[in-house]
């Protein structure tokens, strides 16, 4: 039997050194840096962050957009940047819970991305205890760099995540400040989902989230490893 509508295409992200990474799902971690949890008013101190239960949400696979122009989304007056480490999974995890000690082996590559957020819609959803989908999972909400094979990266743990907008630094933090590291997050995700080759994980943002306007240019960096250059264009 033929498809009754055109099959959706697969989003593919270029990988440094050759080839593409076809995207299956996009998982995102909320509140993975204490200073960002504080600025969002959900943690008074490190001890107030509930380390037992990371916050997860997701974006559709076709929210991915590469370097270059990012359209300003509709239905918001407060589009905000969140620079994040992006983890790309290279294989299907075995059934069951991934042990922390094994989880790193499923990472194929890393990139840097923006978890773009319609902050006004998120604030309204939080106030009403409603889901975040419209705030997070919109078209073009996941700009991402090329992916760098994990084997080509010497010391990810000590690398610095940063974002500048119009040449001015907005966000900067060491990855070792993350509350949950990559294997810990994959372990937690595996309790909830069957992790698959093609999955991406946005690892959460440090403090300094703020608005972007049409005409703004940005550079997101995993310093010394990879950069994402882009700009926000009008609606």
CA neighbours closer than 13 Å in the CB half-sphere of residue 95: 0
* Cβ at position 181, least distance to Mn ion in Å: 16
Q: Which stretch binds Mn ion (CB under 5 A): 42-50, 158-166, 199-207, 214-222?
A: 199-207
Instruction: Using CB under 5 A, pick the residue from 205, 212, 219, 222 that binds Mn ion.
Output: 205
**Dist CA 78 CA 44 (whole Å):** 24
Q: Which stretch binds Mn ion (CB under 5 A): 8-16, 82-90, 139-147, 210-218?
A: 82-90
Which residue minimizes CB distance to Mn ion? 115
Q: In 10 A of CB 214, how many CB atoms?
A: 13
Is the CB of 115 or the CB of 199 nearer to Mn ion? 115
The strand pairing partners of 111, in sequence order, are 86
Is the CB of 183 or the CB of 206 nearer to Mn ion? 206
Cα torsion at 29, 33, 38, 42 (round to 10°)?
A: 30
Encoded tokens for 72: 């300003």
Tell me the pairing of strands 160-165 and 64-65: unpaired
Closest by CA to 213, choosing from 103, 118, 72, is 72
Instruction: State the residue for tokens 């994990």.
Output: 150
Q: Which stretch binds Mn ion (CB under 5 A): 64-72, 120-128, 164-172, 204-212?
A: 204-212
Is the CB of 15 or the CB of 42 nearer to Mn ion? 42
Instruction: Using CB under 5 A, pick the residue from 54, 65, 82, 142 that binds Mn ion.
Output: 82
* Cβ at position 140, least distance to Mn ion in Å: 15
* Cβ at position 14, least distance to Mn ion in Å: 23
Is the CB of 16 or the CB of 121 nearer to Mn ion? 121
Is the CB of 97 or the CB of 211 nearer to Mn ion? 211
Q: Which helix (H) or strand (E) holds 39?
A: helix 34-39
* Cβ at position 106, least distance to Mn ion in Å: 21
**Dist CA 125 CA 34 (whole Å):** 22
Instruction: Check binding of 137 to Mn ion (CB under 5 A).
Output: no
Tell me the pairing of strands 12-14 and 168-174: unpaired
Is the CB of 84 or the CB of 146 nearer to Mn ion? 84
* Cβ at position 95, least distance to Mn ion in Å: 29
Is the CB of 86 or the CB of 226 nearer to Mn ion? 86
- Chain positions 96 to 115 lying near Mn ion, rule: CB under 5 A, are 115
Q: In 10 A of CB 22, how many CB atoms?
A: 12
Closest by CA to 113, choosing from 171, 168, 55, 157, is 171
Contact residues toward Mn ion (CB under 5 A) are: 82, 115, 205
């Amino acid at each position: 039997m033929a498809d009754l509508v055109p099959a959706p295409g697969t989003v593919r992200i270029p990988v440094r050194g050759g080839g593409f990474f076809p995207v299956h799902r996009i998982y995102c971690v909320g509140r993975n840096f204490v200073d960002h949890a504080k600025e969002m008013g959900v943690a008074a101190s490190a001890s107030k962050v509930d380390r037992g239960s990371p916050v997860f949400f997701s974006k559709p696979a076709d929210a991915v957009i590469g370097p270059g122009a990012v359209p300003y989304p509709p239905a918001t007056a407060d589009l905000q940047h969140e620079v994040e480490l992006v983890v790309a999974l290279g294989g299907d995890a075995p059934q069951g819970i991934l042990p922390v000690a094994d989880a790193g082996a499923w990472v194929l590559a890393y990139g840097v991305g923006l978890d773009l957020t319609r902050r006004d819609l998120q604030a309204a959803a939080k106030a009403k205890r409603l889901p975040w989908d419209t705030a997070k999972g919109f078209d073009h909400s996941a700009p991402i760099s090329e992916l760098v094979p994990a084997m080509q990266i010497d010391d990810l743990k000590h690398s610095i995540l940063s974002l500048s907008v119009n040449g001015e630094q907005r966000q900067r933090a060491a990855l070792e400040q993350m509350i949950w590291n990559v294997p810990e997050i994959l372990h937690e995700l595996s309790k909830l989902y069957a992790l698959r080759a093609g999955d991406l994980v946005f690892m959460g943002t440090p403090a300094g989230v703020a608005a972007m306007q049409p005409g703004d240019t940005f550079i997101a960096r995993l310093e010394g490893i990879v950069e994402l250059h882009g700009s926000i264009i009008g609606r």
